[in-house]
């Protein structure tokens, strides 16, 4: 179903729900409710209603009230039904018990009233998302966090791994197996861990790992652990135990998780697509020690697993596997070629900055683009040592600009990153040229020339030598910290995040089951919020039933993505820590570079205005943004 159609349905829902038979018959209350509607509506219909007072009938809600037999002060409320089925609108009175401001309200059994509201809401949701609605999202869409006009972009930059080159998932199992073997061979870990095969889809990108406790978990944008997503080894940790371990809260303090690149002293965030097998190996080895009652220090285990996975990269195993069978491991190379060809054909300048070695990149690019791939690029830099490529000497350069070259004399003590004690002395890595065999040359680099390959270097020299500054440059990468953060925050380049997980998650969002579960979850949450003032024993039991159903719906919607950790973008209702960083560090994000093929090179991406919480009632035509609240605004009238 198209979005316009859904929007129309949303509006229809709003109009229809505003005709919902009303509980309070008194004119005084009608006027008051109308006043509340004004505060919740941005257009003039509510305003006219209340300014003129007598014109309240112009409000659809008021019209409905006048038409409804249940609104006659003398009309007794018909007996309500406990269950309402089908599309036929309920005729039961929804008179709300316990409202003290009207003496004419007919009191009814609170349990019956609440269930009538529940059924009414269910029917509204059914109308909004009828059976068969699916495929609302196109997996090839590019999403915008900021407005980007491609007409203004003349220079396109790319990371290589998981940006130009997408890899098959089969690589994950190979990295896992090799690192597990390293643990046994080089770190003398028990042979028992050999029994732990790779578990596809166990972990997801963006999770946090508590190094000291040995726990893998998902944290939201506000530093709260999503309960139900904490794993010790391969087993979930009960919520009560999580709260106990974190001092009675599931909030992780800033100083534990902070660190610009996601590395706090106690928590590590896994942001790399390559880190999926590492998280799985951590879980498996923890599980082995716990299951076999072997005492161990989780800190040692974390470091050993990290080193073992690092060796797979450092020793070149991964590069070797891919180079031996590029057809097997590199996906959709023809699409990468199509993107690059299109950009070059339109006169755009291209550059590549990657941490991978030249021989590896050359092999992959020859496969995807052809042996003349270097003709596509104006500058190629390999083994760039990102993120340091983008941020080395930032502080020195910035301070020199603001204060002068003697800026350090203003300070008694300057502490910089501990791993760079010589930051101010030898931090600038100059560019070095590689010859056609990939051997390092010793000549001083005074220009970055097309057709040449350069190693290392730093962004400041890059900017000085190319003059490529500001928003005319758009750089694509998959690592939010290493690829995009510095460019976005410090240098003003435009950034595009490649998030391969979008493709899989879009498939889930496009299912009818997800659309219906999520919409009903939102509606039920709104219902619980509005009806919570009913605190008599019968009502309390109904509300407990609803809260239980809400928990079940949350689990259902989470498990559709990943049974352990759910979506990489959402906790129950908040953005994840990953999601917040994605919004902060990328102007655009998409599943793969090939999404660019769906847009012409003069296209402007406009971010959608998403409602803040206090704006949500105004957004009648948006799904899942609280649009269900407005039909019941009048019921909140007593809350000031
Ligand atoms: Mg990459």
Reading the block at residue 242, the tokens are: 């999580």
Triad 444, 450, 453: Cα angle to 5°: 60
Four-residue CA torsion sign, 504, 507, 509, 514:
negative
* Intra-chain end-to-end CA distance of the chain, in Å: 39
Instruction: Please name which of 193, 201, 422, 149 lies closest in space to residue 291, comparing C-alpha atoms.
Output: 193
Burial class of residue 290 in the structure, from the number of CB atoms within 10 Å of its CB (0-12 exposed, 13-18 middle, 19+ buried): middle
Identify the active-site residue in 109, 127, 151, 161: 161
Reading the block at residue 406, the tokens are: 């003697």
Q: How far apart are CA 568 and CA 218, in angstroms?
A: 9
Find the 483 Cα to ligand 1 centroid distance in Å. Answer: 7
Identify the active-site residue in 159, 210, 304, 396: 159
Predicted TM-score (pTM) of this structure: 0.77
What is the phi/psi pair of residue 288, to 5°? -60, -50
536 included as an active-site residue: no
**Residue tagged 């000549």 (tokens):** 443
The number of residues in the chain equals 640
* Strand partners for 589: 143, 497
Q: Mind listing the pLDDT tens digit for each residue in 263-309?
A: 777 899 999 888 999 999 999 999 999 999 999 999 999 999 999 99
Q: Mind listing the pLDDT tens digit for each residue in 418-437?
A: 232 232 233 468 888 988 77
Q: Where in the chain is the domain with CATH 3.40.50.1000?
A: 148-167+330-503
Find the 274 Cα to ligand 1 centroid distance in Å. Answer: 9
CA distances from 215 to 218, 264, 590 (A): 10, 15, 30
Q: How far apart are CA 438 and CA 545, in angstroms?
A: 67
Find the 478 Cα to ligand 1 centroid distance in Å. Answer: 5
Residues with beta carbon < 5 A to ion ligand 1?
159, 161-162, 478
Instruction: Please name which of 581, 630, 488 lies closest in space to residue 269, comparing C-alpha atoms.
Output: 581
The 3-state DSSP composition of the chain as helix, strand, coil percent (nearest 5) reads 50, 10, 40
pLDDT, residue 637, reads 41
159 included as an active-site residue: yes
Find the 164 Cα to ligand 1 centroid distance in Å. Answer: 8
pLDDT, residue 397, reads 47
Please report which residue ranges of 246-315 form alpha helices under DSSP H.
254-257, 275-291, 298-314
pLDDT, residue 242, reads 96
Instruction: Please name which of 618, 360, 332, 379 lies closest in space to residue 498, comparing C-alpha atoms.
Output: 332
pLDDT, residue 11, reads 43
pLDDT, residue 600, reads 95
CATH homologous superfamily for 148-167+330-503? HAD superfamily/HAD-like (3.40.50.1000)
pLDDT, residue 486, reads 86
Find the 148 Cα to ligand 1 centroid distance in Å. Answer: 22
The residue ranges of the chain whose pLDDT is under 70 are 1-106, 133, 258-262, 392-428, 617-640
Which residues are CB-contacts of 59 (< 8 A; sequence separation ≥ 6)?
Answer: 18, 34, 37, 45, 46, 49
Q: How far apart are CA 243 and CA 368, in angstroms?
A: 50
Find the 616 Cα to ligand 1 centroid distance in Å. Answer: 37
pLDDT, residue 276, reads 96
């Amino acid at each position: 179903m198209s979005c316009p159609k859904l929007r129309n349905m949303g509006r229809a829902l709003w109009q229809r729900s505003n005709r919902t038979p009303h509980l309070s018959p008194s004119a005084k209350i009608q006027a008051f409710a109308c006043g509340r509607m004004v505060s919740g509506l941005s257009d003039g219909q509510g305003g006219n209603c209340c300014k003129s007072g007598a014109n309240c009938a112009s409000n659809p809600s008021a019209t409905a009230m006048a038409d409804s037999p249940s609104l006659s002060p003398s009309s007794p409320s018909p007996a309500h039904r406990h269950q309402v089925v089908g599309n036929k609108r309920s005729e039961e009175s929804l008179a709300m018990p316990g409202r003290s401001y009207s003496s004419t309200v007919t009191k009814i059994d609170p349990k019956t009233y609440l269930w009538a509201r529940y059924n009414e809401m269910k029917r509204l949701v059914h109308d909004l998302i009828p059976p068969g609605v699916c495929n609302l999202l196109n997996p090839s869409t590019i999403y915008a966090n900021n407005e980007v006009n491609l007409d203004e972009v003349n220079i396109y930059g790319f990371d290589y791994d998981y940006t130009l080159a997408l890899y098959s998932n089969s690589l994950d199992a190979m990295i896992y197996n090799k690192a597990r073997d390293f643990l046994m061979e080089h770190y003398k870990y028990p042979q028992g861990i050999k029994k732990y095969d790779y578990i596809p889809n166990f972990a997801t990108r963006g999770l946090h790992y508590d190094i000291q406790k040995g726990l893998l978990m998902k944290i939201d944008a506000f530093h709260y652990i999503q309960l139900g997503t904490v794993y010790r080894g391969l087993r979930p940790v009960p919520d009560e135990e999580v709260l106990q371990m974190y001092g009675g809260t599931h909030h992780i303090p800033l100083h534990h998780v902070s660190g610009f690149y996601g590395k706090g002293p106690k928590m590590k965030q896994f942001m790399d697509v390559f880190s999926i097998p590492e998280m799985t190996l951590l879980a498996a080895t923890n599980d082995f020690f716990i299951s076999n009652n072997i005492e161990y220090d989780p800190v040692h285990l974390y470091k050993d697993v990290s080193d073992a996975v690092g060796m797979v990269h450092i020793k070149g195993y991964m590069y070797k596997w891919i180079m031996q069978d590029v057809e097997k491991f590199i996906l959709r190379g023809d699409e990468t070629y199509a993107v690059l060809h299109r950009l070059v054909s339109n006169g755009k300048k291209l550059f590549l900055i990657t941490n991978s070695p030249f021989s590896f990149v050359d092999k992959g690019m020859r496969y995807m683009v052809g042996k003349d791939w270097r003709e596509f690029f104006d500058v190629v830099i390999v083994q760039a040592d990102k993120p340091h490529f983008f941020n080395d000497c930032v502080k020195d350069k910035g301070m020199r600009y603001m204060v002068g070259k003697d800026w350090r004399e203003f300070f008694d003590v300057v502490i910089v990153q501990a791993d760079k004690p010589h930051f101010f002395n030898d931090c600038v890595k100059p560019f070095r040229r590689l010859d056609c065999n990939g051997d390092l040359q010793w000549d001083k680099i005074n220009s970055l020339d097309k057709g040449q390959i350069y190693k290392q270097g730093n962004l400041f020299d890059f900017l000085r030598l190319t003059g490529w500054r500001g928003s005319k440059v758009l750089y694509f990468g998959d690592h939010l910290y290493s690829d995009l953060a510095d460019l976005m925050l410090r240098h003003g380049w435009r950034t595009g995040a490649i998030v391969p997980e979008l493709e899989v998650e879009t498939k889930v969002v496009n299912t009818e089951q997800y659309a219906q579960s999520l919409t009903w979850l939102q509606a039920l949450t709104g219902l619980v919020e509005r009806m919570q003032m009913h605190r008599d024993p019968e009502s309390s039991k109904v509300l407990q039933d609803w809260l239980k159903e809400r928990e079940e719906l949350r689990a259902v919607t989470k498990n559709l993505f990943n049974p352990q950790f759910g979506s990489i973008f959402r906790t129950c209702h908040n953005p994840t820590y990953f999601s917040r960083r994605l919004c902060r560090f990328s102007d655009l994000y998409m599943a793969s570079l090939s999404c660019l093929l769906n847009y012409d090179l003069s296209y402007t991406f406009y971010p959608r205005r998403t409602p803040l919480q206090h704006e949500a009632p105004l957004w009648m035509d948006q799904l899942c943004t609280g649009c269900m609240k407005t039909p019941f605004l009048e019921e909140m009238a007593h809350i000031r």
